[in-house]
Amino acid sequence: MSAVLERQRWLAALALAVAVPLPLTGVVSWPFLLPFLAVALWVVSSRRPLAPPPAWLENVLAPLILVAVVAAGGVQYGILRPVSQLAVLVAAVRLPGCGQRSRTLSTGGILALVGVAGIASSTHPLLALYLLALLTFVLHAVGRLTGVALTEGATVGGRVTVWPPARLVMGSMVVAVLVAAPLFALLPRLRSPFAAAPFGARSVTGFREAVMLHGIGDVKESRRLVMRVVFPGVERGLVSPDWLRLVGATVKHYRAGGWVEGRLRSQRLAGHPEHPVALVEGAPAEDLRRAEIVLEKETGVLFVPGGAVSLTVHSAVAVTREQSGVLRIPRGTELPLPYGVEFDPVRVEQPPPDEVDLELPSGSDNLRALARQVTGRTTNSLAAALAIEQHLQRSYRYTLRTHAPVREDPVQWFLFRSREGHCEFFASSMVLLLRTLDIPARLQAGYAGGEPDGEGGYLVRDSQAHAWVLAYVNDNWRVFDPTPAEGRPGIVEAAGGPVLRWGWQRIEGLWDRWVLTFSLTDQVEFARQALEALAAGSRYLAPMALALGGLVAIVLLFKTRRKAGPRQPRATGRPTHVTRALQKAMHGASRRGVSIPPAMTAREFAGAASAAFPASGEPLAWLVREHERSRYAEGAAPARREVRAAVRAITREIERPSRQVSGSPASP
């Protein structure tokens, strides 16, 4: 195989390798990805070096590529998507002819950009294994192509035999991991991969407190543990999914395309640790259920079932309640935080409706027309709410990848243009549609469902974050969930055996905690703990320094005495594979008539064999030189495949029928 063809195939294979995450993350859309994959497959399967496209054709394609990227949205949805789509199209143009030296470096740089885009948009724990596999592939490719470049025109046996040593590849991987890990821990956090609250605000369930409906669905992909929930005295099969609908915030003010809480008037809840605090005055004491919750993630709020009537915090934490019923705790509260909640499983406890629950944004005439169209002539508020809920579930598609235009009302855009979105689009649309029918409605955000922990409780993760609707029908608040079934989280049974399931959940939890959500706060905490440990261990610094100094002195003394002593000759030890290969060549030459006395040295044998078989002189000289270097000069032995190639060349020349040497053979 020629060097140009080999470079071409390696780069095309690298293109396929870096494209693995792209279909899974969605950072590159299929109209851009398919041409890239097709060209890479064509180049990697070609049996001859391909010529690059003409310069005029590349010049024509360049503006067309830019137009395609702009038409696909440009930088409207961020910089990563357009850069990735631009890179894959440019790489598709550069791959033909990439085996030529003039195009190899530029093509490799573009493929590196594609790889960075795929890695930067991936959040799955298997990304770590993919990175190790990709690093191994890249090291082999770079080592091989470097060897090809150095040995072009100088091959042994007609083939290039230069490959990177396995120990070099493994050592490079270990060094890369050891360098990358501390850099990841020390470099400042530029951004979180999930939605976060703006500065000065407090987040609710991972969503923004001012729910802007723009790109916040990514939090649904996080597997970070938020809380653990147990219902004492209730078997797991008897737990209703509605009990795991845990409220974090209730909002009713729709302003400029988003939900806000309005004026925050808080009430300090009196009480002490282990002392119940009433959340609802005059609530019945019978038919209540109890939930024991352990909050694992810092959110600034306590999550409770919709019918919560009393709260018991098991530690000294100041809890305040907003007018809307949100339970606040101070930022920086020590976690995990356990607390208990008593709740009515058949009621929703909320303040009565007021005029704000019927508030509509300007330009809502089309919303009113749609609501009338869906509900028909019904005057029953419950029937109207159910009709709107079913219409949204059946006529709109659930997706996390929504990109509502910033200058357009997101509810209007969702209902009349995109017709697809995540839970907050569905819930927000239903609230406004209900209000056009004079039905008071509010939006609630929190968590719905969980995963059994194998011990009778449930693990609630970021992926269970959800938004739903409260509507005041038949003189009661009632929960409605207009999100289609595929977007409604619930009680999830993980697949696989108990041990495997627990192990994988543990891996995902560690990945989410220490990679995806590793923040500046964690770095500051590590620095604080390190300083405290240093201060606590300062009294041991002097003894440790003295012991280290003594150890260094012993090592230096040992090295000095070793240098001063007489140098012992190196034992030859057992023969190396080079020596055995030389013995094999001597045996073959002896059978073909070369006289080899017992006292003949390796160099004398090389001279005699070269005189009898001139074509074997070069590989024989190399074999003898490597034999002497590895056996007597403490040098590293060459690779076994190189030695085998040299022996094959010598044997092929010696065993030709026309090469019989006159005279009787002597014993070696």
Give yes or no for a contact between 434 and 235, defined as CB atoms under 8 angstroms apart. Answer: no
What pLDDT, on a 0 to 100 scale, did the predictor assign at position 294?
92
Is pLDDT at 46 greater than 80 in this prediction?
yes
What pLDDT, on a 0 to 100 scale, did the predictor assign at position 498?
52
Among 269, 253, 245, residue whose Cα is nearest residue 322: 269
Hey, which residues does 442 pair with through a beta bridge? 470
Confidence of residue 15 (pLDDT cuts 50, 70, 90): very high
Hey, which residues does 452 pair with through a beta bridge? 458
Among 52, 57, 53, 55, residue whose Cα is nearest residue 4: 52
The Cα–Cα gap between 385 and 376 comes to 12
Q: Which of 104-113, 329-338, 408-417, 595-604 is predicted with the least confidence, judged by mean pLDDT? A: 595-604
* Angle (nearest 5°) at CA 218 between 215 and 222: 160
Is pLDDT at 263 greater than 80 in this prediction?
no
- Nearby residues of 617 by Cβ (< 8 Å), 6 or more positions away: 606, 609, 610
The Cα–Cα gap between 533 and 527 comes to 10
What pLDDT, on a 0 to 100 scale, did the predictor assign at position 572?
46
Three-state DSSP class for 286?
Answer: coil
Six token digits for residue 539: 């009294």
Identify the DSSP state of 201. Answer: -
* Angle (nearest 5°) at CA 344 between 338 and 347: 130
Is pLDDT at 167 greater than 70 in this prediction?
yes
What pLDDT, on a 0 to 100 scale, did the predictor assign at position 625?
85
What pLDDT, on a 0 to 100 scale, did the predictor assign at position 514?
75
| 262 vs 667, residue with greater confidence | 262
Q: For the residues 501-505, what does the mean pLDDT come to?
A: 61
- Most confident among 419-423, 511-515, 527-531 (mean pLDDT): 419-423
Q: Which of 62-66, 194-198, 530-534 is predicted with the least confidence, judged by mean pLDDT? A: 194-198
What pLDDT, on a 0 to 100 scale, did the predictor assign at position 233?
86
Is pLDDT at 336 greater than 70 in this prediction?
yes
Is pLDDT at 441 greater than 50 in this prediction?
yes
Q: Where do the H-state alpha helices sit in 512-601?
A: 520-536, 541-564, 577-591
User: What is the side-by-side order of every strand in the sheet holding 289-295?
Assistant: 277-278, 308-313, 337-343, 289-295, 225-230, 458-461, 451-452
Task: State which amino acid sits at residue 541.
Answer: L
Identify the burial level of 339 via C-beta atoms within 10 angstroms of its C-beta, where 0-12 means exposed, 13-18 middle and 19 or more buried.
buried
What backbone phi and psi angles, to 5 degrees, belong to 504? -70, -40
Mean of pLDDT over the chain: 81
Is pLDDT at 430 greater than 60 in this prediction?
yes
User: What tens digit of pLDDT does each residue of 168-215 get?
Assistant: 889 998 999 899 888 888 887 654 333 222 222 333 333 333 333 333
Give yes or no for a contact between 119 and 127, defined as CB atoms under 8 angstroms apart. Answer: yes
Q: Which of 39-48, 343-352, 487-496, 563-572 is predicted with the least confidence, judged by mean pLDDT? A: 563-572
Give yes or no for a contact between 507 and 125, defined as CB atoms under 8 angstroms apart. Answer: yes
The Cα–Cα gap between 417 and 623 comes to 76
274 in the Ramachandran plot: left (φ > 0), alpha (ψ -120 to 50) or beta? left
Q: For the residues 25-49, what does the mean pLDDT come to?
A: 91
Confidence of residue 34 (pLDDT cuts 50, 70, 90): very high
What pLDDT, on a 0 to 100 scale, did the predictor assign at position 654?
80
Give me the sign of the Cα torsion angle 437, 439, 444, 449: negative
Q: Which of 23-27, 84-88, 336-340, 573-577 is predicted with the least confidence, judged by mean pLDDT? A: 573-577
What pLDDT, on a 0 to 100 scale, did the predictor assign at position 222?
65
| 332 vs 9, residue with greater confidence | 9
Give yes or no for a contact between 473 and 385, defined as CB atoms under 8 angstroms apart. Answer: yes
- Most confident among 201-215, 386-400, 608-622 (mean pLDDT): 386-400
- Most confident among 149-153, 204-208, 280-284, 487-491 (mean pLDDT): 487-491
Task: State which amino acid sits at residue 303.
Answer: F
Is pLDDT at 346 greater than 80 in this prediction?
yes
Q: Give the domain ranges of the chain.
A: 3-186, 195-492, 577-659
What backbone phi and psi angles, to 5 degrees, belong to 14? -65, -35
State the residue for tokens 């006159």. 662
Confidence of residue 571 (pLDDT cuts 50, 70, 90): very low
Give me the sign of the Cα torsion angle 628, 629, 631, 633: positive
Three-state DSSP class for 195?
Answer: coil
Give the DSSP H/E element, type plus range, for residue 305.
Answer: strand 304-305
What pLDDT, on a 0 to 100 scale, did the predictor assign at position 427?
93
Hey, which residues does 447 pair with through a beta bridge? 246, 465
What backbone phi and psi angles, to 5 degrees, belong to 134? -65, -40
Identify the DSSP state of 400. Answer: S
Judging by DSSP bridges, how do beta strands 225-230 and 458-461 pair with one another? antiparallel
**DSSP annotation string for 437-454:** TT--EEEEEEEE-BEE-S
Q: For the residues 302-327, what does the mean pLDDT come to?
A: 87
What pLDDT, on a 0 to 100 scale, did the predictor assign at position 642?
86
Give yes or no for a contact between 430 and 480, defined as CB atoms under 8 angstroms apart. Answer: yes
The Cα–Cα gap between 602 and 486 comes to 77
User: Global pTM?
Assistant: 0.51
Give yes or no for a contact between 134 and 122, defined as CB atoms under 8 angstroms apart. Answer: no
Is pLDDT at 368 greater than 90 in this prediction?
yes
Give yes or no for a contact between 247 and 460, defined as CB atoms under 8 angstroms apart. Answer: no
Q: Which of 191-200, 346-355, 373-382, 640-649 is predicted with the least confidence, judged by mean pLDDT? A: 191-200
Q: For the residues 3-27, what does the mean pLDDT come to?
A: 90
User: What tens digit of pLDDT does each residue of 537-549 get?
Assistant: 777 778 888 888 8
Three-state DSSP class for 186?
Answer: helix
Is pLDDT at 349 greater than 60 in this prediction?
yes
Q: 617: how many CB neighbours lie within 10 A of its CB? A: 16
Q: Which of 176-185, 562-571, 639-648 is predicted with the least confidence, judged by mean pLDDT? A: 562-571
Among 597, 642, 603, residue whose Cα is nearest residue 620: 603
Is pLDDT at 411 greater than 70 in this prediction?
yes
Furthest C-alpha separation in the chain = 121
Give yes or no for a contact between 232 and 292, defined as CB atoms under 8 angstroms apart. Answer: yes
Identify the burial level of 650 via C-beta atoms within 10 angstroms of its C-beta, where 0-12 means exposed, 13-18 middle and 19 or more buried.
buried
What pLDDT, on a 0 to 100 scale, did the predictor assign at position 208?
33
Is pLDDT at 364 greater than 80 in this prediction?
yes
Task: State which amino acid sits at residue 535.
Answer: A
What pLDDT, on a 0 to 100 scale, did the predictor assign at position 508?
65
What pLDDT, on a 0 to 100 scale, did the predictor assign at position 415?
93
Give yes or no for a contact between 518 and 222, defined as CB atoms under 8 angstroms apart. Answer: no
- Chain centre to alpha carbon of residue 155: 42
Is pLDDT at 504 greater than 50 in this prediction?
yes
Report how far apart, in Å, the C-alpha atoms of 611 and of each of 250, 616, 622 are.
Answer: 97, 9, 16
Is pLDDT at 597 greater than 90 in this prediction?
no
| 9 vs 611, residue with greater confidence | 9
CA dihedral 590, 592, 593, 598 (to 10 degrees): 0
Identify the DSSP state of 455. Answer: S
User: What tens digit of pLDDT does each residue of 206-259 get?
Assistant: 333 333 333 334 455 566 788 999 999 888 778 888 899 999 888 888 887 778
Give yes or no for a contact between 155 and 148, defined as CB atoms under 8 angstroms apart. Answer: no
The Cα–Cα gap between 367 and 144 comes to 64
Confidence of residue 434 (pLDDT cuts 50, 70, 90): very high
Q: Which of 124-138, 360-374, 588-602 is predicted with the least confidence, judged by mean pLDDT? A: 588-602
